[in-house]
Structures are given as structure tokens and as C-alpha cells.
């Protein structure tokens, strides 16, 4: 997945989001070893200290863990990853509902349109 860092928000937060997205999408699988700080930083074109900070934060969240001798890994705890996925889904849904309300749809209409669209997409 391509790293894209926008210019307004703190870089380390964007790095956290990017790695989370990779975990959610299955690009990083449970138990996968992740590249070194230096390699990840070079790949993203960011400062290694900032990458370090992002990884420390992900570790605190329980999404990655450090093995003293062999490096960093994605957690094998699928429950944690499932929760992350759900949180991410909630975010997308809330944003969607918010936007739909802004353009003048009420909750029932949103639900109706959503069901209709899903049916159409299945065809």
C-alpha cells in the first residue's frame, strides 16, 4: 500500500493510521514480522524517529509487539484485530451517515437507499 502523508496533520498519527489500515486489509497478517524502523521510514519517506514513535504507539495499543531479539511483529491476537476492524467500520459508517444527513436524507431514507444500492450491486 502506498504511503501518503498529507501536510496538515501530525505525521506520526498518519503513520499509525496507515499501518492500522494495512492490518485491517490483511496486508499485514497476524504474527507477521514487520520491517525495521529504518526500512519502514525510508519506504514512507519520513524521519525514523517519527516512525519509531508511531510503532511505540501501536505497541501500546496492543497491535504490534516487540521480541527483544528478533524484531517487531503484528499481534497474533485476532480478537484485537477484529476490534480494530469494527472501530474502523464504525468510523466509515458514521461519516457516511453524517454526509447523507448533510445532503438532506433522514435515517429511514438512508437505510432504504442503502438496501436498494446493495441489491443493485449484487446483480
| Residues contributing to the site for another protein (CB under 8 A) | 5, 7-13, 38, 41-42, 45-50, 53
57, three cell numbers: 504507539
Side-chain half-sphere exposure of 43, counting CA atoms within 13 A: 14
Output the smallest distance, CB 59 to another protein, in A.
Answer: 18
Q: What distance in Å separates the CA atoms of residue 70 and residue 66, rounded to the nearest whole number?
A: 8
Output the smallest distance, CB 4 to another protein, in A.
Answer: 11
6 vs 108, which CB is nearer to another protein? 6
53 vs 74, which CB is nearer to another protein? 53
Of 67, 3, 5, which is closest to residue 40 (Cα–Cα)? 3
43 vs 112, which CB is nearer to another protein? 43
Output the smallest distance, CB 50 to another protein, in A.
Answer: 7
Q: How far is CA 60 from the centre of its chain?
A: 15
Amino acid at each position: 500500500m502506498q504511503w501518503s502523508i498529507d501536510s496538515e496533520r501530525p505525521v506520526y498519527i498518519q503513520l499509525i493510521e496507515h499501518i492500522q489500515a494495512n492490518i485491517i486489509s490483511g496486508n499485514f497478517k497476524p504474527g507477521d514480522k514487520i520491517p525495521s524502523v529504518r526500512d519502514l521510514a525510508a519506504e514512507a519517506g519520513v524521519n525514523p524517529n517519527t516512525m519509531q514513535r508511531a510503532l511505540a504507539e501501536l505497541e501500546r495499543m496492543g497491535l504490534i509487539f516487540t521480541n527483544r531479539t528478533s524484531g517487531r511483529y503484528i499481534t497474533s491476537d485476532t480478537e484485537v484485530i477484529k476490534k480494530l476492524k469494527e472501530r474502523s467500520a464504525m468510523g466509515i459508517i458514521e461519516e457516511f451517515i453524517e454526509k447523507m444527513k448533510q445532503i438532506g436524507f433522514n435515517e429511514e431514507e438512508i437505510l432504504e437507499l442503502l438496501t436498494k444500492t446493495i441489491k443493485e450491486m449484487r446483480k
